Amino acid sequence: METVIKIEGGHRLNGSVRISGSKNSTVALIPACVLASEPVTIYGVPDISDVRSLITLLNELGVNVEERDEDTLYIDPTHMENVPLVSEAATKLRASYYFMGALLGKFGHAEIRMPGGCYLGPRPIDLHIKGFEALGADVQYDNGCYILDADQLTGTNIFLDISSVGATINIMMAAVFAKGRTVIENAAREPEIIDIATLLNKMGARIHGMGTSSLVIDGVEHLGGCSHEIIPDRIEAATYIIMAAAMADDMLIENVIPQHLDAILMKLKEIGINLQIGTDSVHVFRTENDLKPTEILTKPYPGFATDVQQPFSVLLTQAVGQSTVTETIYAERFKHCDELKRMGADIDVRIPSAFIHGKTKLYGARVKATDLRCGAALVVAGLMADGVTEIHDIYHIDRGYDHLDRKLNRLGAKLWREEV
């Protein structure tokens, strides 16, 4: 038996939805908490399966974790032990690799099984490894595990060949206790990096240059406890804004930082979506006219987010003419196109681009979420389609979307889970 999500399409959306804390921040903030020697409280934690996997890993390390209220974690690393992270929980999500930087920084030793997550083509962690080695660590790979050792990490200048979010965060966490100054050049600039650096600075770290391509970390000897509220999830926000653009009469998306969504909001306006941008919200109204085609090129932040191109592609099936989506970050981010074709979409994939021909009617079908954002795209398509859409492999969706069923049904969608 398998649990699937079923969506009866064609129901208009109305009302307001509150965006949860950032998934991409949370999965790094939780490992960052082990760097402290006192308890840390995090507010705005999304209820997603990746968080539950990370809590399992914290428990394996002897970290006391208490879930307080619906979205608050109290993390106490006072009595933690540095044990190898080789259980199934470590392989379930890619973000488990953040324990490499955290444990190496705190203990000078880390052992972790090769992380998992969505398959989006080659996603090597060689930049992480090069950064750790530049700080003075010895890194070995044995029988599916990475083993990292360092008597003393020493600050240095590190240039990232690719502006990688994961490598920037991991090296930053390893460097907080390194002797002297570490400078990461060509650092990623995503809002999530600023969020993690803000947490570490509250704990007593000395990190400067967040949000720029030159990140400076001056090593310290001790990190204490603190409280921290996670930034809103810009990818979840974009997904709901796209759902509203597709199916809403009048829908307010709340707890949003609009500046984090500039590239997406500009594209939505360009294709003809009727929306108003508030201080911390986006209000979407029904669009009466046909949508215009466009060209999308995914780029690192502040460009058009790769995580958003899949759900946005669904919206472009309703634009009159040919739209082009070019993927510069993850070549495998076109698996959703085959699933959308089952629903009637006219899409021609010639990597690194997809050519979307519209306007086409979508029909309910049996489809598979091949990864997290493919799952989000299929939910958007299911809301738009005639008939019932049945989505399989929904564990991908549950990795990144907090209470998807509840939020959508409150807005007027008809979505449910069923054993098949």
pLDDT of residue 122: 45
24 annotated ligand-binding residue? yes
Residues 343 and 194 in one domain: no
CA 339 to chain centre: 22
Task: Tell me which amino acid residue 280 is.
Answer: D
Residues 202 and 139 in one domain: yes
> Which of residues 195, 229, 263 is at a domain's end?
229
The answer to whether 128 and 160 are in contact (CB under 8 A) is: no
68 annotated ligand-binding residue? no
Residues 185 and 162 in one domain: yes
Residues 133 and 272 in one domain: no
Q: How far is CA 321 from CA 324, 352, 355, 391, 403, in A?
A: 10, 20, 10, 28, 35
Q: How far is CA 135 from CA 155, 208, 372, in A?
A: 6, 18, 33
The answer to whether 155 and 217 are in contact (CB under 8 A) is: yes
Cα–Cα distance measured from residue 23 to residue 193, given in angstroms and rounded to the nearest whole number = 12
Residues 187 and 289 in one domain: no
Note down pLDDT in tens along the chain; length 420 residues: 999 999 999 999 999 999 999 999 999 999 999 999 999 999 999 999 999 999 999 999 999 999 998 899 999 999 999 999 988 888 877 778 999 999 999 999 999 987 655 444 444 688 999 999 999 999 998 888 899 999 999 999 999 999 999 999 999 999 999 999 999 999 999 999 999 999 999 999 999 999 999 999 999 999 999 999 999 999 999 999 999 999 999 999 999 999 999 999 999 999 999 999 999 999 999 998 999 999 999 999 999 999 999 999 999 999 999 999 999 988 778 999 999 999 999 999 999 999 999 999 999 999 999 999 999 999 999 999 999 999 999 999 999 999 999 999 999 999 999 999
> Would you name the residues annotated as active-site residues?
118
94 annotated ligand-binding residue? yes
pLDDT of residue 342: 97
Provide the pairing of β-strand 274-277 with 281-285: antiparallel
Residues 14 and 133 in one domain: no
275 annotated ligand-binding residue? no
> Which of residues 229, 254, 271 is at a domain's end?
229
Domain of 110 in residue numbering reads as 23-229
Residues paired with 130 in a beta bridge? none
Number of domains in the chain: 2
Residues 9 and 47 in one domain: no
52 annotated ligand-binding residue? no
pLDDT of residue 115: 66
Residues 256 and 314 in one domain: yes
77 annotated ligand-binding residue? no
Structure tokens at 268: 């939505």
- The CATH number assigned to the domain holding 358 equals 3.65.10.10
> Which of residues 211, 229, 247 is at a domain's end?
229
CA 94 to chain centre: 11
Structure tokens at 324: 């082009």
Q: Which of 105, 391, 265 is nearest to 408 (CA)?
A: 391
Residues 400 and 273 in one domain: yes
Q: Which of 328, 298, 305, 329 is nearest to 192 (CA)?
A: 305
Residues 124 and 166 in one domain: yes
207 annotated ligand-binding residue? no
Residues 213 and 284 in one domain: no
Q: Spell out the alpha helix ranges (H) of 64-148.
A: 88-92, 98-107, 126-134
125 annotated ligand-binding residue? yes
pLDDT of residue 93: 78
Residues 329 and 257 in one domain: yes
pLDDT of residue 124: 65
